[in-house]
Amino acid sequence: MRTLADRLRECREEARLSQSELARRSGVSQSTVANIESGRNQGSKHLIPIAEALGVRVEWLNSGKAPKSRAAGPIEASPEDRYKIPADQGNVSVWESDGDLDDGEERVWIGRYDYHFSAGTGLIQWEVREKKALPFNESFFKAIGARPGDCKLVTVRGDSMEPFLFDRDVFMIDESKTALRDGKIYAIYFEDEPLVKQIFKRPGGRLVLHSFNSTYPDVELTPGDMENFHIVGECVYRSGSGFTTH
């Protein structure tokens, strides 16, 4: 079956354009063109200027189901396509290195670290291994009220926070947000064990460490436990299998 990569390569060769020339005419990077032709990048917003540079419809380039020529008039959506998201919107860009992505002044790179914060009562794991950085838009941090320099992406281990965080999900902590807010989720150390818990305040300076998974009982801390309690940061973003609100 013919793919987006096949159609793009065919159009480019018909127009007798190199990848670099098509990139210049469309205003995208050559690595973007190469990634789409290799099937690693599904195009996202870049399909629009590429299709315009080639003189074809973006709908045809993406799916092959529309007329190829831009001069063919308006497209009438078929019943099965009526509720689909437009072909040029919401697509996923696959990348291996920062060179695969177009330059952007608003892009912020956040390193992902395997701190192995436990969501249960698992073993203490102190190893810190930096993984490939992930790109975020600067507006993302404005929306969540955080500064990029205060944030870290870490990995959760265990099932006590399911269904909010599943084993090996990734979450972002803001290390500047260490003042407890009732009901928020925090990465903490308690008795030298890294944990992720929802924390509730109680009268008399007591705290409740709550697990979303009902098989794990709440843990109540008294003021005397505070010397063994340390907040690393508040969870401000999560990426994984669980639900997205709490």
Q: What is the DSSP letter of 42?
A: -
- What sign does the CA torsion over 25, 84, 107, 95 have? negative
Mean pLDDT of 71-83: 52
* Stronger pLDDT, 98 or 146, i.e. the higher one: 146
Among the residues of the chain, which ranges form H helices?
4-14, 19-26, 30-38, 47-54, 58-63, 138-144
Going by C-alpha positions, the residue among 148, 125, 153 that lies closest to residue 138 is 148
User: What pLDDT band is residue 122 in, cutting at 50, 70 and 90?
Assistant: very low
| pLDDT given at position 71 | 59
* Per-residue pLDDT, 179: 92
Within 8 A by CB and 6+ apart from 88, the residues are: 43, 44, 45, 47, 48, 58, 59, 62
Q: What is the CA radius of gyration of the chain?
A: 24
Structural tokens at position 134: 């992930």
Domains, the chain, ranges and CATH? 4-94 (1.10.260.40), 108-239 (2.10.109.10)
- The confidence score (pLDDT) of residue 191 equals 84
- CA separation for the pair 79, 242 (Å, rounded): 32
Q: pLDDT tens for residues 22-47?
A: 988 888 888 888 888 887 765 566 78
Model confidence at 70: pLDDT above 80: no
Greater confidence, 80 or 222?
222
Q: Contact 75/68 with Cβ under 8 angstroms?
A: no
